[in-house]
Amino acid sequence: MKVAFFDAKPYDHIYFDKAFAQAGFKVKYYEGRLSTDLAVLAKGCDVVCTFVNAQVDKECINALEEQGVKLIALRCAGFNNVDFKAAFKKIHVVRVPAYSPYSVAEHAASLLLSMNRKIQRAHMRVREGNFTLNGLIGMDLHGKTAGVIGTGKIGQCFIDIAKGFGMRALAYDPFPNNKLDVEYVSLEELWPQADIISLHCPLTKETKDIVSSQSIEQMKEGVLLINTSRGGLIDTDALIEGLKSGKIGGAGLDVYEEEGEYFYEDFSSEVITDDNLLRLMSYPNVLVTSHQAFFTYEALEEIARVTVDNIKTFEKDEFLENEICYQCEMKGDCRRRKDRKNCW
């Protein structure tokens, strides 16, 4: 198997070089992000391996098919950046559905703690010899209510963390986990009760802008908002208005609605032209990180392992456990998983 690996970073080599060598795969690394224009670089390769911010749209898929690509291996969990209906019966698409739920949940907690206790501001002050406490007051998390939207593995980990702080946990999920020790409520009940809201759901048509001007209006005054899932879950304009009015007391964002142009790249010597991103970064009660919640040794090792295993399974023409299920999306009936057979 020959693999074209796009958006390659130095840390990718650390984990993928060994995994590909052990599998006997030939790999070409490209620093550029996969696009229609760069699809020609995959000529002669069976597989392209790409990451979360590459826009694998219909044109890109058609260009990859022309180069002979048979598999798109996403080294991430999310797949909202892929037009997988366009890929149906052309190119199989697999992903890494889970790598380390602890890494993401713990980063969400880190954002919460840092934002609530003004850690970043305090650190910068002390570095400059300013040891005053004015403006650094936070609140006890113990006894507060955490509203968790999405109770998959990551959401479950965050609920455990919240409970560890002595918080009451409320959860919303259209598909509740009855085995989970948490109180499920509707969004209409969650918004006004939660002191902290943490998003742990995928980006779909149903969850796009789940945090909107309407939902913000229903929230508690001064609520803290955490997002380590997908930027599109939040209407950025509504978030800015909520911050300006004080309705939202702070936001910890590891993802951003229009992050594709900037995240994972170095713009320290260039002018950032995204006005909304600049405004968010200028607020003292907003903490932005560059989609790094997944970034732990354990997660990177698991991502490499599962990605290579996905390619091995495809090479053997076996059932692709981690293939995106086209039948579910197109017909609402997952015969693929019932019969343990690939979609096509």
Confidence class for position 4, pLDDT limits 50, 70, 90: very high
Whether residue 259 lies in the annotated active site: yes
Name every residue whose Cβ is closer than 8 Å to that of residue 232 and which is 6 or more positions away in sequence: 80, 203, 208, 209, 257
For the domain made up of 2-99+297-339, the CATH class stated in words is alpha beta
Tracing tokens 């950032």 back to the chain, one arrives at 272
CA pair distance 254, 293, nearest whole angstrom: 7
Name every residue whose Cβ is closer than 8 Å to that of residue 242 and which is 6 or more positions away in sequence: 213, 216, 219, 248
Task: Give the model's pLDDT for residue 341.
Answer: 77
The per-residue pLDDT of the chain, averaged, comes to 94
Confidence class for position 326, pLDDT limits 50, 70, 90: low
C-alpha closest to that of 291 among 237, 230, 210: 230
pLDDT tens-digit profile of 97-121? Answer: 989 999 999 999 999 999 999 999 9
Mean pLDDT throughout 31-41?
96
Task: Give the model's pLDDT for residue 327.
Answer: 57
SS3 category, 194: coil
How do the domains of the chain map onto residue ranges? 2-99+297-339, 101-288
pLDDT above 70 coverage of the chain, percent: 96
pLDDT tens-digit profile of 257-288? Answer: 999 889 999 999 999 999 999 999 999 999 99
Task: Give the model's pLDDT for residue 118.
Answer: 96
Whether residue 291 lies in the annotated active site: yes
- By the 10 Å C-beta count (0-12 exposed, 13-18 middle, 19+ buried), 248 is classed as buried
Task: Give the model's pLDDT for residue 329.
Answer: 54
CA pair distance 148, 132, nearest whole angstrom: 34
Give the active site residue among 92, 230, 257, 323. 230
pLDDT tens-digit profile of 60-87? Answer: 999 999 999 999 999 999 888 999 889 9
160: pLDDT strictly greater than 60: yes
Task: Give the model's pLDDT for residue 333.
Answer: 58
Q: Is the Cβ–Cβ distance between 130 and 154 less than 8 Å? A: no
pLDDT tens-digit profile of 289-312? Answer: 999 999 999 999 999 999 999 999
Q: What are phi and psi of 222, to 5 degrees?
A: 85, 15
CA distances from 45 to 41, 66, 142, 307 (A): 9, 11, 54, 16
101-288 has the same fold as 2-99+297-339:
yes
Confidence class for position 337, pLDDT limits 50, 70, 90: low
Neighbours of 302 (CB within 10 A): 18
256: pLDDT strictly greater than 70: yes
Render the burial of 129-158: b for 16+ CB within 10 Å, e for the rest: eeeeeeeeeeeebeebbbbbbbbbbbbbbb
Give the active site residue among 259, 302, 323, 336. 259
Q: In what order do the strands lie in the sheet with 71-74?
A: 26-29, 2-5, 47-50, 71-74, 92-94
Task: Give the model's pLDDT for residue 324.
Answer: 85
36: pLDDT strictly greater than 80: yes
Neighbours of 335 (CB within 10 A): 12
CA distances from 47 to 26, 27, 75, 89 (A): 10, 9, 12, 15
State both tokens at 123. 């650190």
Give the active site residue among 75, 95, 107, 291. 291
CATH architecture of the domain with residue range 101-288? 3-Layer(aba) Sandwich (3.40)
State both tokens at 201. 């759901």
C-alpha closest to that of 259 among 251, 247, 267: 267
Instruction: Answer yes or no: pTM beyond 0.85.
Output: yes
Task: Give the model's pLDDT for residue 283.
Answer: 96
